[in-house]
Amino acid sequence: MKGKVVLGLSGGVDSSTSAYILKDEGFEVIGVTLICTDEQLNSKDLEDAKNITKKLGIKHVLVDIRKEFKEKVINYFLDEYSKGSTPSPCVVCDELIKIENLKRIADSEGAYYIATGHYCETVFNERFKKTLLTKAKDERKDQSYMLYRIEPDILRRIIFPLAKYEKRYVREKAKNYGLEVYDKKDSQGLCFARLGYLDFLKSELQFEIKKGDFVDKDGNVLGQHQGYQLYTIGQRRGLGVIFSRVYFIIDIIPERNQIVLGDYTDLDRELIELVEFKSHIPIEELEELELLAKPRFSSFGFYGKVFRNNGKIYFKYNKKNPQNARGQHLVLYFNDCIVGGGKIKF
């Protein structure tokens, strides 16, 4: 027996297959399902998670964290849109909710190891002499971006059973294990906004959302928007107004209830300030490196360098790009290892 491991078990194909892999490898697996929303209490996912633990004969722990989830994730999500920013709720959830709760339960169960069904991997980096997060084998499913804020002392305890597998192979493996969830669709969208994030915002911020003006860079009124909280920087479609030309949202000004429209090239930025910065190696070393920066989860990334000025931290791209949105996270890679990152501010 390799010891105890606490596994985040959602009931999806990834976490369910992870449970089987870990047990096959000789671990004593404890499946933990975090109850984040009211809908989850009677969901098919919860039923599937219970069935997996029965099938495997492993302990199943249910943890009701609805209050904590609302305070740390949902309220953050609403606050960011109210400030004209674009939130990253999954990044916040992984750092403050999922990993923290799995660590707490592992400590209470006397388990050293923590595991999740994320597609990423940890390696001991000889250059920096510490454990770092790195990309998964299947880069199309790579989720390292979402976990960039996890501290190295926790990373040393984490196992990612799916790190070396492609998604199609995970499904095949699940089918071979006899798991009914082998062909279950991947979850889409936000777990707390199943009907869509716009409807969720309208429901939660209904009294704060007011119509306002679309303006150009000179302040000329171009039309009327339905409430600045319902839009994001970089958006082109779904503006709700028919214009004589293509416009992109290049800025949101909450205090004026205005949305600024412009050309695609107006989104280009070379210099980004980073706040709530997380560095996994000394900042002095980080400043010496040429880094790949991903300004959003789906980005292939752009090269540049970190530097400090007057107590602030910035990232300067080698070449301008249009992918940056206020409130999103810029994640920094060196040779596929995550070395830091922060929240975009401008």
**Residues carrying an active site annotation:** 93, 191
DSSP-derived 3-state class of residue 295 = coil
CB environment 290-305: b (16+ within 10 A), e (fewer): ebbbbbbbebebbebb
> What are 86's two structure tokens?
């674009």
Residues contacting residue 62 through CB under 8 Å, at least 6 positions apart: 33, 35
Angle between helices 13-24 and 44-56 (to 10 degrees): 10
| Residue 218: how many other CB atoms lie within 10 Å | 6
Cα distance between residue 268 and residue 288, in whole Å: 25
Distance of CA 76 to the CA centre of its chain: 13
Burial bucket for residue 126 (CB in 10 Å: 0-12, 13-18, 19+): exposed
Which H/E stretch holds residue 103?
Answer: helix 99-109
Q: Which two tokens stand for residue 264?
A: 């695609």
Phi, psi at 117, each rounded to 5° = -90, 20
Closest CA to 330 of 279, 260, 261: 279
